[in-house]
């Protein structure tokens, strides 16, 4: 194991191991932490496929790990779960001057920032797509077969990354994703800060725009709670439905009555999402 790849903690869970690692990221120019659930199959030496989980605003690698209840199903299916942080971290990493929750630390939005000072560290797109999988596949008992999922800002990241990297992921799913960030307050704030004023460049990180451009089809499952207070202003799931219909992009977009934006919602349906991914990871 590389000296820059350090096991910080490990606990037994459903016959597997829930681990947290630390490493220095050349992409982000800082030390990063991420969590991994290794199912029993991988713990006895059998490499397994991976579902990458991207978390939302204000979260880190621990939110999904401790709240979603995904390990039981992952153990049964023989799937590893890799849960990165949501942004670069550290004293040298810039943050929003006013400490806003929707920009800066905890709010990397899975883009490669082009604007100073953000561009020195906020390159979460390259970290998720290239550096982290290469590290995980080198150091841990997993295969190169991957799917990706996420929540809210992480749902945006998961869908956008899958659409931009045809063939790298077998399937993608999301809970309450920000599907059209170029046209919602969260996305406009983040994109103008990280990417500058060229709105056309924002479309490279916008799932609705990527599908409209003709992105390659990939199995897609989206769950959205109807009691989510962010639905109409920030998430705009209907925009995803519309563009999928226009482009004949096959997607399962489900509205769940009474559910909100919380991890109670994720915990209620994570088993269905993991079984959806398993159909494609083991196909």
CA distance 1 to 161: 28
Residue 38 — very low, low, confident or very high, per pLDDT cuts 50/70/90? Answer: very high
Q: So what's the pLDDT on residue 45?
A: 85
Domain ranges of the chain: 6-281
243-247 contacts, C-beta under 8 A, 24 or more apart: 243/208, 243/211, 243/212, 244/211, 246/212, 247/211, 247/212, 247/214
Does position 156 have pLDDT exceeding 70, yes or no? yes
Determine the average pLDDT of the residues in 26-35. 98
> In 3-state terms, what secondary structure has residue 277?
helix
Determine the average pLDDT of the residues in 211-219. 97
Residue 207 annotated to the active site: no
Residue 1 — very low, low, confident or very high, per pLDDT cuts 50/70/90? Answer: very low
202, 249 contact by CB (below 8 A): no
Which of 149, 156, 228, 277 is the catalytic position? 228
Q: So what's the pLDDT on residue 39?
A: 98
More confident residue, 43 or 269: 269
Residue 151 annotated to the active site: no
Q: So what's the pLDDT on residue 283?
A: 83
> Which residues have CB under 8 Å from 55's CB, separation 6+?
61, 63, 64, 83, 84, 85, 86, 150, 151, 153, 154
Does position 99 have pLDDT exceeding 60, yes or no? yes
Does position 224 have pLDDT exceeding 70, yes or no? yes
pLDDT tens for 103-149 read 999 999 999 999 999 999 999 999 999 999 999 999 999 999 999 99
Percent of the chain with pLDDT over 70: 99
Is the pTM higher than 0.75? The answer reads yes
CA distance 35 to 39: 13
CA atoms within 13 A on the CB side of 87: 28
Which of 23, 151, 156, 261 is the catalytic position? 261
> Which residues have CB under 8 Å from 30's CB, separation 6+?
24, 88, 89, 90, 92, 93, 121
Does position 163 have pLDDT exceeding 90, yes or no? yes
Q: So what's the pLDDT on residue 3?
A: 56
Which of 25, 35, 42, 152 is the catalytic position? 152
Residue 192 annotated to the active site: no
Question: Where does 6-281 sit in CATH, by number?
Answer: 3.40.50.1820
């Amino acid at each position: 194991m590389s000296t820059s790849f350090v096991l910080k903690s490990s606990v037994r869970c459903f016959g597997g191991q829930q681990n947290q690692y630390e490493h220095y990221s050349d992409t982000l120019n800082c030390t990063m932490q991420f969590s991994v659930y290794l199912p029993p199959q991988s713990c006895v030496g059998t490499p397994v496929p991976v579902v990458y989980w991207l978390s939302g605003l204000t979260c880190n690698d621990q939110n999904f790990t401790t709240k979603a209840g995904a390990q039981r199903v992952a153990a049964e299916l023989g799937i590893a779960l890799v849960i990165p942080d949501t942004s670069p971290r550290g004293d040298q990493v810039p943050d929003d001057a006013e400490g806003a929750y929707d920009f800066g630390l905890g709010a990397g939005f899975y883009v490669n920032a082009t604007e100073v000072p953000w561009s020195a560290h906020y390159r979460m797109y390259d970290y998720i797509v290239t550096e982290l999988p290469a590290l995980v596949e080198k150091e841990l008992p997993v295969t190169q077969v991957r799917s990706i999922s996420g929540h809210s800002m992480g749902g945006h990241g998961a869908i956008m990354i899958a659409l931009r990297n045809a063939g790298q992921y077998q399937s993608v799913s999301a809970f309450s994703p920000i599907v059209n960030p170029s046209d919602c307050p969260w996305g406009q704030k983040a994109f103008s800060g990280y990417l500058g004023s060229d709105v056309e460049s924002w479309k490279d990180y916008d799932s609705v725009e990527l599908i409209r451009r003709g992105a390659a089809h990939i199995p897609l499952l989206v769950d959205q709670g109807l009691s989510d207070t962010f639905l109409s202003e920030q998430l705009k799931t209907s925009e995803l439905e519309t563009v999928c219909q226009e482009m004949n992009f096959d997607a399962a977009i489900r509205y769940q009555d009474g559910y909100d934006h919380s991890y109670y919602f994720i915990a209620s349906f994570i088993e269905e999402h993991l079984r959806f991914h398993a159909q494609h990871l083991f196909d």
